Amino acid sequence: MISVVIPTRNRLESLNRVLNSLYNQTLKPKEIIIIDSSDQVFTAKDLIKSPNTINLVLKRSTPSVCQQRNIGIKLSSNPFILLCDDDLVFEEEYIVTLYEYFKKNPSKNAASGIILEKNTKDEWAYANEISNIKLFYNWFFGLSIFSDLSKKRKGNILINRIKTKLYNRGNQISKAGWPIFVTWNKDENDFPFFSLMGAMIKKPEKELFDPIFVFNGIGDNYDACIKLGFNITILKKVKAFHYKEITNRINPKEAYYYRTSALHYILLNNSNFSSSNRLFLLWSLIGVLIPNFLKMDTEMIKYNLILIFRILFKKNLYQQETLNSIST
């Protein structure tokens, strides 16, 4: 009943690592579809051998993670699809846990285990610690907050009121469109959107990923989650480990520029949002500018000024002509 779709590019060693993880699942998928856009072509002989029960499909594509995912989804022959990045490793109960969740919750369209990444202490973690000062600053400017506020921390009256307010409202989208993920205390936690790098979905009838997000797919998860109903459940009891392979990964400042451009594109083109959301996005970028001015980070200052100009004049980076020029 389950297909796995893996877009990959120039990461053969990492790809084999995730394949080994999938082969060792308690509930094995019926098929694994690999959509490869590597510069150096590899064949099935370069991949670790799959069990006889798994149909391994290898297809070539031009480089675009969104298009690669769409191709894989279209080729899949099963009603449930595990979207899988090529730098993950899953716990053995990962697939069966998600599959059982769907059987018990047939109205759900998307679910994921918790995705762990190495933090600054070189520990696998799912949410960052946030200082009281940064919490207040991000709340004031409507920026992202990704921290477990169910854990008790001391603070003054104002900070405690902000924490209580955020916690009571739960996981949400700020008025600027940025994610606020603050409640992780349940075994099953609902989010408006989340990374789909290790999510199981029901096979969609239409293309899920907008090919306009050609820059390493930055922004595609947000857009896809809207199409899935802006409701994805994260199951804390099962985990995937994200190794964040360096190959194909752009630097964080450039990624910020593309991510904010993608958010602006979504605010412009989705009926869930209005002009007021774009005004709040501008306000949030002022919040990003201030510390970068103090640090004299010229690259981030440049990116933010370009973004502010684009938002003011509705000139988003992601235009159809941009997509056409990159495709050619």
Q: pLDDT tens across 48-70, in order?
A: 999 999 999 999 999 999 999 99
* pLDDT-based confidence at residue 81 (cuts at 50, 70, 90): very high
Same domain, 175 and 267: no
Both 91 and 138 in a single domain? no
Residues 155 and 9 in one domain: no
Confidence category of residue 156, pLDDT binned at 50, 70, 90? confident
Number of domains forming the structure of the chain: 3
Per-residue confidence band for 326, with pLDDT thresholds at 50, 70 and 90: very low
> CA 193 → CA 199, 297, 324, distances in Å?
11, 30, 28
Q: What is the pLDDT of residues 160-180, one digit of tens each?
A: 899 989 988 999 999 999 999
Could you give the C-alpha distances from 58 to 22, 30, 35, 189, in angstroms and in order? 16, 14, 6, 34
Task: Please check whether residue 85 lies inside any domain of the structure.
Answer: yes
* 148, 201: one domain: no
Nearest-angstrom CA–CA distance, 93 and 96: 6
Q: Would residue 12 count as lying in a domain? A: yes
* Residues 192 and 175 grouped into a single domain: no
Domain assignment of residue 38, yes or no: yes
The residue assigned the tokens 């993608």 is 262
For residue 180, the 8-state DSSP code is: E
Per-residue pLDDT, 108: 94
Is the domain of 163 the same as that of 208? no
Say if 247 falls within a structural domain: no
| pLDDT at residue 270, as a whole number | 92
216 and 75: one domain?
yes
47/135 same-domain check: no
Residues spanned by the domain of 257:
252-327
Check pLDDT > 50 for residue 328: no
Residues 179-185 have a mean pLDDT of: 89
Predicted local distance difference test score (pLDDT) of residue 320: 59
Cβ atoms of 232 and 110 within 8 Å: the answer is yes
